[in-house]
Structure 1
Amino acid sequence: MRKITSKMTFEDDKEEVASKKHNANPLKLTESSGILYPYYFGDDPHVKLKNIKNIQSKTGDIFLCSYPKSGTHWIMEMVNMLVSGSTEHPQKFNFLDPMIICDQVLDSVPCPRIFQSHLRFNQLPASFLKRKGKIIYILRNPKDISVSLYHFVQKEGRIKYTGKWDEFFQLFVNGKVGYSSWFDHVASWEREKEKGRHPIHFVFYEDLKEDAVRELDRINKFLSLNHPNSFLQSVAECSTFTKMRKQKYLYHPFPAEVMDENYVDFLFRKGTVGDWRTLFSEEQNMQLEEVYETEMFDSKLRFSYG
Structure 2
Amino acid sequence: MAQGKVMDLKSEKDVWDLQNIKRAQLVDVKEVPLLDTTAEKWEEVWRFKARPDDLLICTYPKAGTTWVQEIVSMIQHGGDTEKCDQLPITERIPFLELFINDGCPTSLEVADAMPSPRTLKSHLPVQLLPPSFWEQKSKIIYVARNAKDNATSYFHFHRMNKGMPEPGTWDQFLENFIEGKVAWGSWFDHVIGWWKAKNHYPILYLFYEDIKEDPAKEIQKIAQFLNLDLPEVLLNQVMQHTAFENMKQNPKTNFTNVPSFIMDQSVSAFMRKGTVGDWKNQFTVAQSEWLDDACAQLLKGINLTFRTQL
1:185 corresponds to which of 171, 186, 190: 190
Following TM superposition, by how much is the alpha carbon of 1:60 offset from its aligned partner in structure 2, in angstroms? 2.2
2:227 corresponds to which of 202, 224, 229: 224
Following TM superposition, by how much is the alpha carbon of 1:102 offset from its aligned partner in structure 2, in angstroms? 3.3
- CA distance in structure 2 between the aligned counterparts of 1:275 and 1:178, rounded to whole angstroms: 22
2:161 alignment counterpart: 156
Following TM superposition, by how much is the alpha carbon of 1:70 offset from its aligned partner in structure 2, in angstroms? 0.1
2:44 aligned with 1:51, yes or no? yes
Instruction: Identify if the C-alpha distance between structure 1 residues 86 and 109 changes in structure 2 by more than 3 Å, giving closer, same or farther.
Output: farther
Instruction: Identify if the C-alpha distance between structure 1 residues 259 and 190 changes in structure 2 by more than 3 Å, giving closer, same or farther.
Output: same
2:33 aligned with 1:36, yes or no? yes
The worse-fitting range, judged by mean Cα deviation, of 208-217 and 107-116 is 107-116
Deviations 1:3-44 (A, max 9, x none): xxxxxxxxxxxxxxxxxxxxxxx9731211110013343xxx
1:61 corresponds to which of 51, 54, 59: 54
Instruction: Report the TM-score, using the length of structure 2 for normalisation.
Output: 0.81
1:14 alignment counterpart: none
2:172 aligned with 1:167, yes or no? yes
Following TM superposition, by how much is the alpha carbon of 1:49 offset from its aligned partner in structure 2, in angstroms? 3.1
* Local SS of the residue matching 1:226: coil
1:131 corresponds to which of 116, 136, 139: 136
* Local SS of the residue matching 1:91: coil
* Local SS of the residue matching 1:119: coil
1:90 alignment counterpart: 85
Query: Which letter does structure 1 place at the counterpart of 2:70?
Result: E
1:13 alignment counterpart: none
- CA distance in structure 1 between the aligned counterparts of 2:97 and 2:254, rounded to whole angstroms: 15
The worse-fitting range, judged by mean Cα deviation, of 206-215 and 253-262 is 253-262
1:140 alignment counterpart: 145
Instruction: Report the TM-score, using the length of structure 1 for normalisation.
Output: 0.82
In the alignment, structure 2 segments of 5+ residues that lack a partner are 1-22, 99-105
Whether the 8 Å CA contact 1:158–1:258 is kept in 2: the answer is no
In the alignment, structure 1 segments of 5+ residues that lack a partner are 1-25
Instruction: Identify if the C-alpha distance between structure 1 residues 166 and 298 changes in structure 2 by more than 3 Å, giving closer, same or farther.
Output: same
1:76 alignment counterpart: 69
2:262 aligned with 1:259, yes or no? yes
Identity %: 32
Following TM superposition, by how much is the alpha carbon of 1:61 offset from its aligned partner in structure 2, in angstroms? 0.8
- CA distance in structure 2 between the aligned counterparts of 1:264 and 1:153, rounded to whole angstroms: 10
* Local SS of the residue matching 1:68: coil
Whether the 8 Å CA contact 2:167–2:173 is kept in 1: the answer is no
- CA distance in structure 2 between the aligned counterparts of 1:39 and 1:254, rounded to whole angstroms: 24
Aligned pair count reads 275
- CA distance in structure 1 between the aligned counterparts of 2:68 and 2:202, rounded to whole angstroms: 18
1:293 alignment counterpart: 296
- CA distance in structure 2 between the aligned counterparts of 1:233 and 1:58, rounded to whole angstroms: 31
The worse-fitting range, judged by mean Cα deviation, of 90-99 and 119-128 is 119-128
Whether the 8 Å CA contact 2:57–2:120 is kept in 1: the answer is yes
Query: Which letter does structure 2 place at the counterpart of 1:181?
Result: S
Query: Which letter does structure 1 place at the counterpart of 2:80?
Result: T
2:114 corresponds to which of 106, 109, 112: 109
Query: Which letter does structure 2 place at the counterpart of 1:242?
Result: E
- CA distance in structure 2 between the aligned counterparts of 1:249 and 1:174, rounded to whole angstroms: 34
Following TM superposition, by how much is the alpha carbon of 1:186 offset from its aligned partner in structure 2, in angstroms? 0.8
Following TM superposition, by how much is the alpha carbon of 1:99 offset from its aligned partner in structure 2, in angstroms? 0.9
- CA distance in structure 2 between the aligned counterparts of 1:54 and 1:111, rounded to whole angstroms: 18
Following TM superposition, by how much is the alpha carbon of 1:211 offset from its aligned partner in structure 2, in angstroms? 0.9
* Local SS of the residue matching 2:28: strand
2:3 alignment counterpart: none
* Local SS of the residue matching 1:177: coil
* Local SS of the residue matching 1:248: coil
Q: After the TM superposition, which residues 205-284 of structure 1 pair with which residues of structure 2 at under 5 Å, given as runs? A: 205-250=208-253, 252=255, 256=259, 259-260=262-263, 262=265, 265-284=268-287
